[in-house]
Amino acid sequence: MDDKIRAIVCLCDALLQAMPHQADRQCQMPDAAIMTTAGVASLCLRGHHASARVMLQQHGDIPPMVSQSRWRRRRHRLTAILLVFFNLLAQTWQTRNAEAISVLDSFTLAVCDNMRMRRSKIYSHDDFRGYPASKKRYFDGRTMPLMVPQDGQPVACVLTPGGWGEVDALPYDAYELPDGATLYAEKASHDYELADLVQDVDHIQLLPIRKQNSHSAWSPALAFVQSSQRQRVETAGSLSAQLVPKSMHAVTS
């Protein structure tokens, strides 16, 4: 964990120095420490910011720790810089993908299950009701399509309604892929018109897994490559799901 904290501090401080960012002189806690606290909470403590504040303060990693309310306000001010930070990390991993081969898969972020759908007021529209075939259950919430290159590092994600598939986000420029890239997807993504549109406009080859009795079934060799490539994104998706808290305590004012 100490190595992760040092790496996050160095990356955040280098980014703030490279950007035209100037903090207030009266701030006792630097902005790099605010970003480090948020990163440690996401990587090690399932997104619990209060626990990350206490842990870093007790271990002496960030001694001048501000109060919880002050930390939240300053973290919201740094939202744009955090997005730039994540985009730079994604671009770094994309540049290492020399063969331009990526895999797309989605995992669910359920708010409630089937028994509470009628009483749920957070996502009451039918678009947020999904059915993952692997889990064999209905849910209300969102799905997160995750794009992973060959090295297994997630480079892009987007929040979509639970009833959407991962390829439904492609027409909305949710993912940035170079020309001539190859994108593998799951069985639920066999939209022939969308695949032809992406091939003609963006020159991206969309290769979803198709059934053997399909009109345009793939060859056995390509089907084997698809199954082997999808193991990377399933591993990355399960590891990312472990970082998400199982439940959230929402407090409304």
> Which two tokens mark 228?
């082997």
* Matching residue, tokens 């740094």: 78
Render each residue's pLDDT in the chain as its tens digit; 253 residues.
Answer: 778 888 888 888 888 888 888 877 788 888 888 898 888 888 888 778 888 888 888 888 777 888 888 888 988 989 899 888 888 888 887 777 777 777 777 778 777 777 777 777 777 777 888 887 777 888 888 888 778 877 777 777 778 888 777 667 666 555 677 777 777 777 655 566 666 666 666 677 777 777 666 666 677 777 777 777 777 777 777 777 767 766 665 554 4
Cβ atoms within 10 Å, residue 190: 19
45 and 52 Cβ atoms separated by less than 8 Å: yes
What is the model's pLDDT at position 253?
Answer: 42
Q: How far apart are CA 211 and CA 14, in angstroms?
A: 49
pTM recorded for the entire structure: 0.69
What is the model's pLDDT at position 110?
Answer: 79
The CB-based long-range contact list for 39-46 (8 Å cut-off, 24+ gap) reads 39/8, 39/12, 40/1, 40/4, 40/5, 40/8, 42/243, 43/4, 43/8, 43/243, 44/1, 44/4, 46/243, 46/244, 46/245, 46/246
What is the model's pLDDT at position 61?
Answer: 77
Q: How far apart are CA 32 and CA 75, in angstroms?
A: 10
Domains of the chain: 2-90 (no CATH), 98-243 (3.30.420)
For 206, the 3-state DSSP assignment is strand
For the CA atoms of 64, 65, 70, 76, the dihedral, rounded to the nearest 10 degrees, stands at 110
> Which two tokens mark 232?
């990377």
Angle between helices 31-44 and 79-95 (to 10 degrees): 60
β-pairing, 182-185 vs 205-208, is parallel
Residue 249 makes CB contacts below 8 A (sequence gap 6+) with none
Question: CA 25, 28, 34 angle in degrees (round to 5)?
Answer: 105
